Amino acid sequence: MDHFLYRDGILHAEDVPLPDIAAAVGTPFYVYSTATLTRHYWLFDEALVGLDHLVCYAMKANSNQAILKLMAGLGAGVDVVSGGEYARARAAGFSGERIVFSGVGKTASEMHAALIGGIRQFNVESEPEMRALSEIAVSLGLTAPVTVRVNPDVDARTHEKIATGKSENKFGIPIGRAREVYAEAAALPGIEVVGIDVHIGSQLTDLDPFREAYLKVAALTRQLRADGHDIRRLDLGGGLGIPYERSNLAPPLPTEYGAVVHETVGDLGCEIEIEPGRLIAGNAGILVSSVIYVKSGEGRDFLILDSAMNDLIRPAMYGAYHDIVPVVEAAPGAEPHPYDIVGPVCESGDTFAKARSMPPVAAGDLVAFRSAGAYGAVMSSEYNSRPLIPEVLVQGDQHAVIRPRPTFDEMINRDTIPEWL
Ligand SMILES: *Cc1c(COP(=O)(O)O)cnc(C)c1O
């Protein structure tokens, strides 16, 4: 469920008509709903009731400071994957005890900064990383709390670019080698093993891979405890998918996911962390764009929008589907028309949809991409010197720009010219 609904034929974000925002900030823009973000956080939190738990929002899905501040205020933890994300988390008010640090290539300076600034745990992904972390912690006279990310070799049955739990993926250490790695970790100075971490992929639409992975983690917990390790925390990662295509079968709900957590690891007495990103932010945001031209091609009509692959790369990068709807609802009985929906960027890859059937629209009309709140703005670029598009947050009948569109001068002035030119 989200809070982008038609009222009197006009698509609204909560109580704000989208044409009002378009008039105020210009198109294209992203707009997010506070009510949806909040609701999704609580769904996860409630799904884990009865377990000592922390929902750590995976900010790589959407790391705008306003959204982070909202999450911090709800009591969430946060999952970061870079020094920049760590800095964003601190700036938004997350204390170190609420930040978990994931990622396969943490650098020495990133680990250093997180140790000094405070950290709940590092999710360590390799032995070289563990040794580097040990050295840095010792040099600072600090102890680094760690989990080891294990790769359970399960097929997440998702897009190949976002599957992370098969043995051929770069993530984690093979679960079969976990005992060895934990033995080394326990012997390293400056390292305190606190638990186990797993994350098998993103946009999962089926609970079976989660169940399979979590059962392996439960078995490993028992084994490692028998080996003498104090396994007291399980980080179960993120990955629950969202319904991008409304006509399709909906993916499992957070409550159903929570039931799998209870069923697989609920009896271990561990503190549970989960790291949802997409399900919190995805359906909490849409991208609003204007039609520049409707161009008749050979055997097809092109809808040329003012947004492009640089603003929302998911269709070009993953072949992803987004529902694209007119902001002003079509008149009853209007015949749907097939369009190739494209942006202005000079690449054929700049195509959002081919032969997409939608109500007829004309130049100047507004259209909205649904489910664009996660992996949208964060993956955007200024390719073709197209300014990063504004982000707007809505709450009830209020709206505020939470990242302005840069001017051309601001873009140009970020470059510097060497003195010899
Ligand atoms: C990407 C990622 C997540 C979030 O995944 P979603 O599919 O957005 O829920 C969580 N944890 C880790 C380690 C990740 O890399």
- Reading the block at residue 136, the tokens are 């840095």
Q: Give me ligand 1 centre to Cα 210, in Å.
A: 13
Q: Which atom of ligand 1 is nearest to the CA of 203?
A: 7
Q: Give me ligand 1 centre to Cα 102, in Å.
A: 9
pLDDT tens digits along 6-25: 999 999 999 999 999 999 99
pLDDT tens digits along 292-350: 999 998 888 999 999 999 999 999 999 999 999 999 999 888 999 999 999 999 999 99
Q: Are strands 233-235 and 10-13 parallel, antiparallel or unpaired?
A: unpaired
CA distance 118 to 98: 9
CA distance 206 to 51: 23
User: Is a pLDDT exceeding 80 seen at residue 1?
Assistant: no
* pLDDT at residue 165 in the model: 85
Q: Which atom of ligand 1 is nearest to the CA of 60?
A: 1
* pLDDT at residue 167 in the model: 81
What is the four-CA torsion angle of 244, 249, 253, 259, rounded to 10 degrees? -140
User: Is a pLDDT exceeding 90 seen at residue 112?
Assistant: yes
For tokens 């051309």, name the residue.
408
Residue 53, beta-bridge partner list: 272
Asked if the peptide bond before residue 174 counts as cis, ω within 30 degrees of 0, the response is no
pLDDT tens digits along 328-339: 999 888 999 999
* pLDDT at residue 300 in the model: 86
Q: Which atom of ligand 1 is nearest to the CA of 278?
A: 8
- Reading the block at residue 165, the tokens are 């739990």
- Give backbone dihedrals phi and psi of 311, rounded to 5 degrees, phi first: -85, -35
DSSP-derived secondary structure letter, 59: G
Report the interhelical angle of 178-187 vs 127-140 (nearest 10°): 20
Mean residue pLDDT across the chain:
96
Question: What residue spans define the domains of the chain?
Answer: 4-31+282-412, 103-274
User: Is a pLDDT exceeding 70 seen at residue 407?
Assistant: yes
For tokens 């996911």, name the residue.
257
Q: Hey, which CATH number is domain 4-31+282-412, 3.40.50.720, 3.20.20.10, 3.40.50.880, 2.40.37.10?
A: 2.40.37.10
- Reading the block at residue 234, the tokens are 């399980």
CA distance 23 to 2: 23
Query: How would you class 108 by CB atoms within 10 Å of its CB: exposed for 0-12, middle for 13-18, buried for 19 or more?
Result: exposed
CA distance 133 to 156: 30
Residue spans of beta strands (DSSP E) within 203-284: 233-235, 271-274
* pLDDT at residue 299 in the model: 83
- Give the Cβ contact number of residue 23 at 10 Å: 10
270 neighbors 233 (Cβ within 8 angstroms): yes
* pLDDT at residue 160 in the model: 86
Nearest to 100 by CA among 145, 43, 69, 67: 145
pLDDT tens digits along 196-250: 999 999 999 999 999 999 999 999 999 999 999 999 999 999 999 999 987 677 8
CA distance 188 to 128: 12
Nearest to 212 by CA among 153, 253, 162: 153
Q: Give me ligand 1 centre to Cα 159, in Å.
A: 14
Among 40, 149, 158, 202, the mutation site with the greatest number of ligand 1 atoms within 8 A of its Cβ is 202
Nearest to 21 by CA among 319, 373, 393: 393
* pLDDT at residue 313 in the model: 98
Q: Establish whether 346 is a catalytic residue.
A: yes
Fold of 103-274: TIM Barrel (3.20.20)
Q: Which residues approach ligand 1 with their CB closer than 6 A?
A: 58, 60-61, 79, 102, 199, 202, 237-239, 275-279
CA distance 112 to 320: 37
Given 187, 346, 417, 421, the catalytic residue: 346
Q: Which atom of ligand 1 is nearest to the CA of 202?
A: 7
- Reading the block at residue 255, the tokens are 């409550």
pLDDT tens digits along 119-134: 999 999 999 999 999 9
CA distance 35 to 14: 8
First CA to last CA across the chain, in angstroms? 56
pTM: 0.97
* pLDDT at residue 335 in the model: 93
Q: Give me ligand 1 centre to Cα 58, in Å.
A: 6
Distances (CA, A) of 190 to 15, 31, 148, 173, 263: 52, 44, 15, 20, 34
